[in-house]
Each structure stands twice: as C-alpha cells, then as structure tokens.
Amino acid sequence: MKTVGYAAYSSDAIMAPYHFERRALRANDVAIEILYSGVCHSDLHTVNGDWGPQPYPLVPGHEIIGRVLEVGPEVTHYKAGDHVGVGCMVDSCQECDQCHHHEEQYCRHGMTPTYGAPDRIDGEITQGGYSKHIVVREEFVLRIPGALDLSRAAPILCAGITTFSPLRTWNIGKGSRVGVIGLGGLGHMAVKLAVAMGAEVTVLSRSKKKEEEAKSIGALGILASTDEDAMAAAAASMDLIIDTVPVEHDVTPYTPLLDIDGTLVIVGQVGPMKEFMSVPMIMGRRRVAGSLIGGIKETQEVLDFCAEHDIHPICEIIRPDQINDAFEVMNKGDIAHRYVMDMSALSVED
Ligand SMILES: [Zn+2]
Ligand SMILES: [Zn+2]
C-alpha cells in the first residue's frame, strides 16, 4: 500500500515528507487510515538520536487514532470502518510469561516499538504514526470507545497509559495521596487520571506559576519545590509520586515527601539521573521505581476509563506541515498540552 508521512532524514530532526509503502496485509493484520497522530516528547528524543543511532528515514509517532480500511482473513475483532488506536508497540513474542500475563511491554524477547525497529517477520523497519496509513497485527490494535472525541484521544495511547499503569500498579484509589512532578503532556494526564480514581493530587513544580492550571484539572494545588518550608511541611505526606520530568534531574528533594513504604516512580527521563541520597529510602522503606507504558489490555482499560470519566488530554490540533514548529516549541521546555496532527491535511497524491 502506497502511503506518505513526515520523516526525519538525519539526527537534525528536521521533518520532511516521505513516500513509502506499507506491507501487504497478513492474515492477522489490520490496515488503518490514520486520522490523528499525537506528538510525544519521545518522538523528538528518538529522531534527535538522543537514545542512540536511528535508521533514517524515520517516521515517528506512537499515539495513533484511525479508521479500519481493511482486515486480513483471520482478524476477528475489527472490521472496516471501526475507530481504532495504535500505541507504542506493534508486536511482541506472544509466548513468554510477560506476554501471557498481558505485559507485552516487558516481553522477554523485546517488544517491537511502533517505529524504528525491525518487524519480527520480514525485518523491515517499523514506521510510525506521522503518516497516512499503518498496518498492524490485530493483537496490538485498540478499540476507541464511542464516547471519546477522536481528535483528542491520541495522547491517551502513550501519555495516558504511561501514567495510568503506575497508578494501577500501586493501587491508587479513594483517599490515596499522589504527587505529580511536572505538568506537561504526561503530568496533566497523571493528574486527571488520579483525580478520577479518587486520589488527592498535588502537583510538584519549581514555582506556583501553573497553580490555576493544576487546580482546573482537579489537583489540590502546587507544592513549589523551591519553597523549602513548604517542602519540609509536606514531609511523609504522599503514597505515590509520579515523576514525569523528561530530562536528567535529582529526585533527592522529592523522596522525603513520601510516606513510609511510599514509591517515587520515574516515567519521564530515560537515561542518566543525578546521584541520589539513600537516607530517605532507608529511613522510611521508600522506593524509587520505574515504569514503561503498559500492556495492551491495560491500554484498552485506560481508553475505556477515559471514556467513562470523560477524560481527554489537553490537545492543540496542528497540520502535519507544522510539525517542525511544534518540535521547536517542545525543545524549549514543557508545554501543558499535546500537539496532535490532523492527518486529513496529508495526501498520498501530494
Ligand atoms: Zn510517547
Ligand atoms: Zn513475549
């Protein structure tokens, strides 16, 4: 199938149109026309080469909302016309213990990311959602509930599941005390999801500049990490802290905020962290953990949860040809919303 997308041709991360082919349908494949594609900070990191050398040209994008065009003969869950999603993975071994208990993101043989990795069958490099079409095996296709606004659902597939999974892992519910560091794409979803689960949520940020914004999405307020008195007064007051900061930083100021047995879970920075102090960990059996997206079953759960609780990410819709401007804004720092590309502005004939 002929298609078109926006690709990076080198680590300068300048995106330009790219014409390429999607594979012919295998028996268990779903062919999807992409309607909306979210722009994730990790797209930028990847095309920049921050996480290692990449196979260029590379089409990023792993927050994909689309409509089924055609299905292979063995596909049972989807038919032409269905609204579907694709997140950060498109395949895994399907045979190991992790795959068997629905945690394909931790597949013992490595899951196949949506872009930049060899397909398990033909070895072709996967290309992501900044494109007009995608072909994905049925097991990695999500159903988009009718109650979700298609134009604002895409970021649930990465930002949503990345924060939903730790909230579930650490059993957040009514009365839980949750801290969220950072109020960007991941952070604002963490707040909305935790609030809908019944938690008391506090945003941790350098300043109280975004306090009104934090309150408007259900947080109690902002605890400014630069305010030493306020930080000391908040010691041992949180059960879980979700750390969404996407760059190298120090967790030491935050760990004393955890109650005994509390956990700070890192979901933003993938790479080196500043040295940290073990005292709060030892004195309170506190933990510093990490978490990677979530399994396919859990991704369906977060989509259904968002539909049920009327949760939508804060999105700014752009055209695909505005992607370089969006990257530039994202490079400058955190933005409290997600760019989502309306792919109807892209045509294979262009
Ligand atoms: Zn992402
Ligand atoms: Zn596996």
pLDDT tens-place string over residues 179-195: 999 998 899 999 999 99
**CA dist., res. 85 & res. 342, Å (int):** 14
Which pLDDT belongs to residue 334?
A: 62
Burial annotation 186-210 (CB, 10 A radius, 16+ → b, else e)? bbbbbbbbbbbbebbbbbbbeebeb
For each of the domains in the chain, give its residue range(s) and CATH number, in order of start.
2-158+312-342 (3.90.180.10), 159-290 (3.40.50.720)
Q: Which-ligand-closest: CA of 108? A: 2
Task: Report CA(96)–ligand 2 centroid distance (Å).
Answer: 4
Quick one: 88 exposed, middle or buried, by C-beta within 10 A (0-12, 13-18, 19+)? buried
Task: Report CA(249)–ligand 1 centroid distance (Å).
Answer: 19
Task: Report CA(328)–ligand 1 centroid distance (Å).
Answer: 17
Task: Report CA(208)–ligand 2 centroid distance (Å).
Answer: 44
Q: Which residues contact 133 (CB under 8 A, 6 or more apart)?
A: 1, 3, 22, 31, 32, 33, 34, 69
Q: Which-ligand-closest: CA of 267? A: 1
Task: Report CA(44)–ligand 1 centroid distance (Å).
Answer: 10
Q: How far is CA 268 from CA 20, 184, 208, in A?
A: 32, 10, 21
DSSP H helical segments within 150-284, as ranges? 150-153, 159-169, 185-196, 211-216, 228-233, 279-284
* Torsion sign (Cα): 156, 158, 162, 163: negative
pTM for the predicted model, two decimal places? 0.96
Task: Report CA(87)–ligand 1 centroid distance (Å).
Answer: 8
Task: Report CA(34)–ligand 1 centroid distance (Å).
Answer: 17
Q: Which-ligand-closest: CA of 99? A: 2
Helix (H) or strand (E) holding 323, with range, is: helix 323-332
Tell me the mean pLDDT in the region 46-63.
93
| For residue 145, pLDDT beyond 90 | yes
CB 336 within 8 A of CB 213: yes
Q: Which-ligand-closest: CA of 114? A: 1
**CA dist., res. 200 & res. 164, Å (int):** 15
Task: Report CA(98)–ligand 2 centroid distance (Å).
Answer: 6
Could you read off the pLDDT of 79-114 as tens digits, one per residue?
Answer: 999 999 999 999 999 999 999 999 999 999 999 999
Task: Report CA(139)–ligand 1 centroid distance (Å).
Answer: 19
